[in-house]
Amino acid sequence: MGLHLTTELPRISAQALTGQAPIVVLAPHPDDESLGCGALLAHAFDTHGAHVICMTDGGGSHPGSVDWPAGRLAAMRWQELSHAIVRLGGMPTDMTWLGHPDGWLGTRDPDRIVADIVAVCRARGARHLFAPAPEDHHEDHRTTARIAQQVVRALPDLTLFSYPVWSRFDDPHFLDRVADRQPVALDSAAWRVRKGLAIAAHRTQRGLVVEDDPQGFSLPPAMIDAFTTQPEIFWKAA
Quick one: pLDDT at residue 79? 98
Q: Is the pLDDT of residue 223 over 80?
A: yes
Average pLDDT, the chain: 95
Mean pLDDT of 43-72: 98
Q: Is the pLDDT of residue 1 over 60?
A: no
- At 5, the pLDDT band (50, 70, 90 cuts) reads low
Per-residue model confidence as pLDDT tens digits over 25-39:
999 999 999 999 999
CA dihedral 31, 165, 15, 44 (to 10 degrees): -10
pTM of the model: 0.96
How high is the pLDDT of residue 53? Answer: 98
Question: In this predicted structure, what is the pLDDT of residue 2?
Answer: 56
In tens, the pLDDT along 151-208 reads 999 999 999 999 999 999 999 999 999 999 999 999 999 999 999 999 999 999 999 9
Which CATH code for domain 14-236?
Answer: 3.40.50.10320
**Structural domain boundaries in the chain:** 14-236
**Secondary structure, 3-state, 29-94:** CCCHHHHHHHHHHHHHHHCCCEEEEEEECCCCCCCCCCCCCHHHHHHHHHHHHHHHHHHCCCCHHH
Q: Which pLDDT score, from 0 to 100, does residue 8 have?
A: 82
Lowest-confidence region among 86-95, 106-115, 145-154: 106-115
DSSP conformation letters of 170-229: H-TTHHHHTGGG--EEE--GGGHHHHHHHHHH-GGGGTSS--S-TTS----HHHHHHHHH
pLDDT at 108: 85
Task: Quickly state the pLDDT bin for 106 (edges 50, 70, 90).
Answer: confident
